[in-house]
Amino acid sequence: MGWFERTYNRIKRGKTKIDIPDGLWTQCTGCSKTIYNKNLEKNIRVCPECGYHFYLGAHDRISVTLDEASFSQYNSNIRPNNPLGFPEYEEKLSKGVEKTGLDEAAIIGKGKVGGVPIVVGVTDFGFMGGSMGSVVGERITLAAEKAVEEKHPLLLISGSGGGARMQEGVFSLMQMAKTSAAIAKLKQEGVLYISLLTNPTMGGVMASFASRGDIVLAEPGARLGFAGPRVISQTIRQQIPAGFQLSESLLKHGVIDLVVERAKIRDTLIRILNLLS
Ligand SMILES: [Zn+2]
C-alpha cells in the first residue's frame, strides 16, 4: 500500500494526522496543510497558505540575507571538545555536522547587505538546537571584536532553542558573560548591533547576546524567552496566556522593536543600515 492509500484509509477511519513521504511534501505546523516542498523552498521556507516560518539553516539564512557571494567566513579552525567527558556528546556533535553542514552551531564572517559591509554571525537550530557551548561563545565574541576592529555594524541572527549547552556545564554558562561583555564593548565603541531573533531563541542565548541588540528584530511567530512555557506554567501553577513568548506578544511589551516577515528582512536591514551607519 502506497502513502496515498495509507493516508486515505486513515482519514476514512477518522484520523486526520497525515502520513507524508519524506522529501516531497511537508505538513505545515501552522495550518496543517500539505505543502509541496519545491513551493516551500521557493517561498524561502514560509508557508504560502498561513505564513508559518519554518526553520532555515545558517547557510540558507546567509544567502537570503547578504548580498550575493559577499560572505567570507572567519576562523573556521575552532573546534569543540568534550571538557566534562559528557556521554554521547561527540555523537551529538557529529549528528549536528551531518544535519547542517556546519562544524558547530554558529558560523561567523563578514559580508555586505545592500553594499554596506557588516560582520555577521548566525546560530543554527539544526545543530544541537543552536545551543551555545564554548565554540559558539568564542565565535560570537570574535564577531563582536571584529566589528569593533573594522568599525562595521554587527548582525547576529539567532536560532538557539537550546540556550546554553548543558554538555559543557559551566564552560557553556560562562559564554553568557563572555558574549555579553563583548557586546558591552561594542556599545562603548559606538558600533551598531542588530539582533535578528528566529524561532526558537531561548535560555542562555536569549539571556545574553541575543536580546542585547541596539535594534532587535524578530520573525513572526518565533518563540523567544528564557524558560519554556511548560516549565513556567508548572512553576507558577497557572495557565499561560495564548501567544505567550511569541514575537508579536514581545513586541507589544517592548522587548523587541519590530516583527519582520522573512521576505522583508533584507530590505529592512538595508533601510536600518542606511539610516544608522
Ligand atoms: Zn501553513
Percentage of the residues of the chain whose pLDDT score is greater than 90: 85
| Banded model confidence at residue 75, pLDDT cuts 50, 70, 90 | confident
pLDDT tens sequence across 206-235: 999 999 999 999 999 999 999 988 899 999
pLDDT at 277: 75
Ligand 1 center–CA 49 separation, angstroms: 5
Query: How many A from CA of 273 to the centre of ligand 1?
Result: 32
Q: Which fold has domain 55-276?
A: 2-enoyl-CoA Hydratase; Chain A, domain 1 (3.90.226)
Residue 140 pLDDT greater than 90, yes or no = yes
Residue 14: pLDDT band (50, 70, 90) is: low
Angle at 137 between CA 71 and CA 206, to 5 degrees: 95
Band of pLDDT at residue 23, cut at 50, 70 and 90: confident
pLDDT of residue 13: 58
Give the distance (Å) from ligand 1 centre to CA of residue 46.
8
Please tell me the least confidently modeled range out of 18-22, 44-48, 121-125: 18-22
What is the whole-number distance in angstroms between the Cα of residue 96 and the centre of ligand 1?
27
Task: Look up cell 571538557; give the residue.
Answer: 83
Is pLDDT of 4 > 60?
A: no
The sheet with strand 258-259 has its strands ordered as 72-73, 106-113, 116-123, 154-158, 193-197, 215-218, 258-259
Distance between Cα 261 and ligand 1 center (Å): 14
pLDDT of residue 267: 98
Q: Which of 180, 247, 257, 172 is nearest to 212 (CA)?
A: 180
pLDDT at 184: 98
- Could you tell me the distance, in angstroms and rounded to a whole number, from the CA of residue 231 to the centre of ligand 1? 27
Residue carrying the nine cell digits 563583548: 182
List the chain domain ranges.
1-54, 55-276
CA of 8 to the centre of ligand 1 (A): 21
Q: What is the pLDDT of residue 203?
A: 95
Report the separation in Å between the CA atom of 50 and the middle of ligand 1, taken as the mean of its atom positions: 4
Give the per-residue pLDDT at 22: 65
Mean per-residue pLDDT for 108-116?
98
Buried (b) or exposed (e) across 52-73, using 16+ Cβ within 10 A?
A: bbbbbbbeebbeebbbeebbee
Q: Is the pLDDT of residue 106 over 80?
A: yes
Q: What is the mean pLDDT of residues 235-241?
A: 92
Please confirm whether the linkage preceding 87 is cis (ω < 30° from 0). Answer: no
Tell me, in angstroms, the distance from the centre of ligand 1 to residue 30's CA. 5
Mean pLDDT of the chain: 92
**Quick one: CA torsion of 45, 70, 181, 256, rounded to 10 degrees?**
-40
Of 105 and 5, the one with more pLDDT: 105
Distance 36 CA to ligand 1 centre (A): 12
pLDDT at residue number 242? 85
Q: How far lies 57's CA from each of 101, 110, 132, in Å?
A: 9, 18, 16
**pLDDT digit string (tens) for 85-103?**
999 999 999 999 999 999 9
Q: How large a percentage of the chain has pLDDT more than 70? A: 92
Determine the distance separating the centroid of ligand 1 and the alpha carbon of 53, expressed in angstroms: 9
Please say whether the beta carbons of 214 and 175 come within 8 A.
no
Query: What is the C-alpha to C-alpha distance for residues 95 and 103, in angstroms, rounded to an integer?
Result: 10
